[in-house]
Amino acid sequence: MGQALYRVLPVRKGEWGIDHDGKVTGSYATREAAFEAAVASASLAIHEGHRVEVIVDGQGDMISGSTATGPSGYDQ
C-alpha cells in the first residue's frame, strides 16, 4: 500500500487546516482540533493498510510562497 501524509498547518491568522495530497482542507479554530481531525482521517488510512504520518506545525510557523525541502523530503 501507499503512504498517507497529513500535515496540520496555519491557513490564516487563528485558523488551522490539514494538507493531504497537496490539498488543504478544513478551517479549525485550534491546532488541537485540526490534529484530532487529521488523526481520524489517518486512522482510516491505517485501516486500509497505508503507512501514515501526521505532522503538526508549530504556533509560530507561517505559510510562505515558497517552501524548502529538508533531508526527509518533507517541507520544513
pTM over 0.85: no
Question: How far are the Cα atoms of 15, 41, 68, 70, 76 from residue 62, in angstroms, in the given order?
Answer: 11, 23, 13, 17, 11
pLDDT at 38: 97
- Say if 74 falls within a structural domain: no
pLDDT at 34: 97
Per-residue pLDDT of 18-74, as tens digits, reads 999 899 999 999 999 999 999 999 999 999 999 999 999 887 655 443 333 333 344
- Say if 51 falls within a structural domain: yes
What is the domain extent for residue 31?
A: 3-56
pLDDT at 75: 41
- Say if 68 falls within a structural domain: no
